[in-house]
Amino acid sequence: MHDLLGRVIDTKVTDQNDNYYIVQRDGFAFLFDKKEADHKLGIGAQITGFAYENEEHNFQITTNIPKVQVGHYDFGTVVRSSHGLGVFVDVGLPNKDFVVSVDELPTIDNLTPQKGDRLMISLVVDAKDRLWGHLADTEIFTAISRRATPQQKNLDTKATVYRLKLAGTLVITDDYYLGFVHPSERESEPRLGQHVDARVIGVRPDGGLNLSLKPRSYQAIDDDAGQLLAALAHAGSHTLPFTDKSSPDAIKDYFGISKGQFKRAVGHLLKLRYIEQDATTGITLTAAGEQAANDHQ
């Protein structure tokens, strides 16, 4: 049985009941759903299909063959998790999801795959004839990847996280380019299997991509901060004489926003290092802020 499960095999019909044909291979019996047959099958008819154990622990053959098999990798979708066991992955079978063991997953809870995440797996059979999902390693992703070109710099892309490292996050884009996200280019570490929005910030000599998960500067600025940024860009010496001490009326007359909105906008721009603040002279645009103001226009 060990050499049959998780693979496409040839079988022969030996019996039937109301719902299934009974098929055999090497003395082992499998169920074949009659709904899959386009005509009645007689004893001795040959069926080629994928062999597996269904969720009711019956061995079954299906002609709806999944791409994920023993020795064959493809993406599956995480449908649920089980504490201490692992995550269940849907590979396209109606009555069986395969478990990727907790032993192959991150030990930090918020980095483990969640429902809807994508994992590239193959299947392995253990000593008890149980099928498990097995994560693809870096060599597999390298083998299926494409070589990026310099023209891809600054493009937006979508990618799936396939490995977590201290140095950064390894991903593969939907177009099968390998990418790397340095910790400085993300707000928080994404999960294994998470599908992320990214932008290309560099193309390496080996054809891999350097990616950022952070928004472009103009995308990170809300309306109030953007208005403040534009006002500074058009002001002489890029400085405006407004501080926390400025009156609400003066701020309202100049910017058309409340003092609370002004303070939040200033705080946002200070965090992004787009402005500098002085208790005497007010707020001044930095070089990074000037570039962001140009992008925001």
Q: What are 227-240's pLDDT values in tens digits?
A: 888 888 888 789 99
pLDDT on residue 220: 53
Of 3.40.30.10, 1.10.10.10, 3.40.50.2300, 1.10.3720.10, the CATH number of 218-296 is 1.10.10.10
pLDDT on residue 293: 75
253's CB contacts (< 8 A; 6+ apart) are none
Superfamily of domain 144-212: Nucleic acid-binding proteins (2.40.50.140)
Q: For the chain, percent helix, then strand, then coil, each to nearest 5? A: 25, 40, 40
pLDDT on residue 236: 79
pLDDT on residue 296: 55
The structural architecture, per CATH, of the domain 8-62 is: Beta Barrel (2.40)
pLDDT on residue 58: 96
pLDDT on residue 292: 76
Rounded Cα gap, residues 156 and 153, in angstroms:
9
Q: Where does the chain hold its CATH 2.40.50.140 domain(s)? A: 74-136, 144-212
Rounded Cα gap, residues 251 and 270, in angstroms:
18
Rounded Cα gap, residues 75 and 120, in angstroms:
4
Rounded Cα gap, residues 108 and 42, in angstroms:
54
Burial of 242 (0-12, 13-18, 19+ CB in 10 A): buried
Listed as ranges, residues in the chain with pLDDT below 70 are 216-222, 295-297
Rounded Cα gap, residues 117 and 100, in angstroms:
13
pLDDT on residue 216: 64
Rounded Cα gap, residues 274 and 217, in angstroms:
10
Rounded Cα gap, residues 286 and 41, in angstroms:
78
Quick one: tokens of 146? 């494409």
pLDDT on residue 221: 61
pLDDT on residue 2: 79
For the domain made up of 74-136, give the CATH fold.
OB fold (Dihydrolipoamide Acetyltransferase, E2P) (2.40.50)
For 173-196, the pLDDT digits (tens) are 999 999 999 999 998 999 999 999
pLDDT on residue 95: 96
